[in-house]
Every structure is written in C-alpha cells, then in structure tokens.
Structure 1
C-alpha cells in the first residue's frame, strides 16, 4: 500500500477472491499482507489482534502482486494455500486473496476494496513501510488504525535466509 496522493476515484480496482467468508460478521479488524511462510511472528501478530475481541479478516496478496514486489522466487506458497493456512488459525474469522495489477497499491484502492467489510480497524505492525498509507486508508473507512508490535527476527525473508544457509 503506497501513500501517494490520490483522488477518491480508483482507475483499476482491486478485487477480493474469498477463501473463507464468514457468514455473519460484525465490523471486523482487517489485516493485509503476503503471509508466505507462516511463522511465529505472524501467529503472535494475528493472535494479539483477535484478543482485542473483534473478528479478524485477513487479505492475502495474490501471487502476481507478490512476484512483482518481491521477485521471481516469491511467493513460496500459492495464494490459495496461504489463504487456507491463515483461515485455519482459530483466531482468524475469514480470509481472501487480493487480486489486481501489482501497480495498484495505493491507500485509496485498498480503502475501496475493504469498504464493503465496514472494518472497525486496520491493523499493521510497528515499522510497516506502509504505515502512513494504512492510517490514511483507515481514516477513509472511518476505522481505527492499530499498530501492533513486530516480533524481531521473525519474518518470512529471515526464515527463508536461515533455510538457505542450512542447506
């Protein structure tokens, strides 16, 4: 999600392909990300959100979007499997895959994608490079912006690096 200045009009909208859509959902907390190789940092982050008492819905970036942003070796796992894995966590109410051109990543596009969910909050970790964009998106949706701790040393990139060095 970028923090570019923009209008309320989005040229190429993002879309959501639901993996697990909750049947009845009060205003959820929404998180978006890659969630490529599930690790304890992901689990701690998602659990800490759910512990606040609102349903948690997770948007998973599509393979095309991840490849464009992180390079040809990523994602390791396909989007549908990442969405299924995340949805299997007891703290997650639902998950969906975010589809759309990789160039469409501004706060306004995400706000329009998430608007039908009527989120109570958007959550992200301390140090997220898109913090300002997520705050702007939350404001546009009338939602709170929740910044939660990052588990140091626990990221997919770090896990893949440790794996590469151990082979």
Structure 2
C-alpha cells in the first residue's frame, strides 16, 4: 500500500468500485448486502424497491468482508460475479462492490462511501441487524429510509443449509 493509499484509507475506510454504473446516475435507491446465492427473497425485495419508480443500485460486500462476517466457506460466489448477477436483473440499474476492512460497518463509513451517489433512499429488510445504523446513515445523506418486508425462510444461509441436507 502506498502512502497515498494509506492516507485515503485513513480518511475513507470503505471504498466502492462500480461494476455497472448507470449513466446518468440520478438519485437512486441504494441497497447494500452480500447477495451471495440469488434467491426469491432477493428478487422480491429488489423488485419491490424498483416498483417505487426510482433507479436502484446495489452495493455488494467484498469477499474479504463477507468471509470475516460469515466464515471461511463464504461467499460462495466472488464479489464481481455477484455484482454482475445482480446488475443483470431488470429491476436493477447498476451495482458496485464495497471494499475495506471487515471491522468497518458503521453508518458514518457507509455514509462517506455512498455520499457521491447522492441516494434518494436507502432500503433494507425488516429485521436487518443494521436497521438503526441504516436509518442514521439515510438521515446523514438527506435520504429516506425504506424498510421492506423480509421473505421468511428465504436467505442464502437457509438455501445453503437446504442444499447441504439434500446431498
């Protein structure tokens, strides 16, 4: 890491690199997450956001961050492939990968990385363990906070559990 890189990381602990950036990027709704193994819960969540009429961009957590949070067997798919899969959905306008230390997950760091996107809203599911942080981040960005229903029993962890039991 160069001295300039170290200074940038000290100022901005999270970074985003675009996989598929919409042009123009008009005040979108932003969602962040792992999106490892695409399932109907993801599709319903993302579609319900897009139906509200604003462009939707999705931030995909990096492999390093996911591995630290979910263990050595995750993610199943690399970040760039997860970003490509999500960007291919008709309801998604673009995707980017969030990189940085796995220890950094606070609302101020996310606000800093999302500020250049100028989101109109941040969306998340009911029961998200970071709900309060996402609401504070939305407030800091002058964005709305959208809490949407979670599809019970539909998560990547549940899908991988079902797959393991079927083998």
Provide TM-score, normalisation by structure 2: 0.93
Q: 8 Å contact 1:28–1:55 — kept in the other structure?
A: yes
Q: 8 Å contact 1:64–1:102 — kept in the other structure?
A: yes
**For each residue in 1:17-54, what CA deviation from the matched residue of structure 2 results, as whole angstroms up to 9, or x when unmatched?**
11000011211000000000000000000000000000
Unaligned runs of 5+ in 1: 1-9
Which one has a larger percent helix, Structure 1 or Structure 2? 2
Contact 2:12 2:113 in 1 (8 A): no
Looking at structure 2, the residues matched to 36 and 103 of structure 1 have their Cα atoms a distance apart, in angstroms, of 20
Partner of 1:53: 53
- Give the corresponding residue for 1:104: 104
* Alpha-carbon distance in structure 2 between the residues aligned to 1:117 and 1:12: 15
Distance 1:13 1:63 in 2: 16
Separation of aligned partners in 1, 2:163 and 2:56: 30
Could you tell me which residue of structure 1 aligns to residue 135 of structure 2?
Answer: 135
CA RMSD, 1 decimal: 0.9
TM-score (structure 1 length as normaliser): 0.93
- More relative contact order in 1 or in 2 (CA 8 Å, sep 6+)? 1
Q: Is the 8 A contact 1:121 1:138 kept in 2?
A: yes
Number of equivalences? 158
Tell whether the 8 Å contact from 1:15 to 1:100 is kept in structure 2 after alignment.
Answer: yes
Q: In structure 2, what is the Cα distance between the partners aligned to 1:12 and 1:65?
A: 16
Unaligned runs of 5+ in 2: 1-9
SS at match of 2:116: helix
- Residue equivalent to 1:81: 81
SS of 1:38's equivalent in the other structure is: coil
* Cα distance per residue 1:59-102 (max 9 Å; x no partner): 00000000000000000000000000000000000000000111
Aligned residue for 1:30, secondary structure, equals strand
Is 1:119–1:143's contact at 8 Å kept on the other side of the alignment?
Answer: yes
Distance across 1 between alignment mates of 2:88 and 2:95: 9
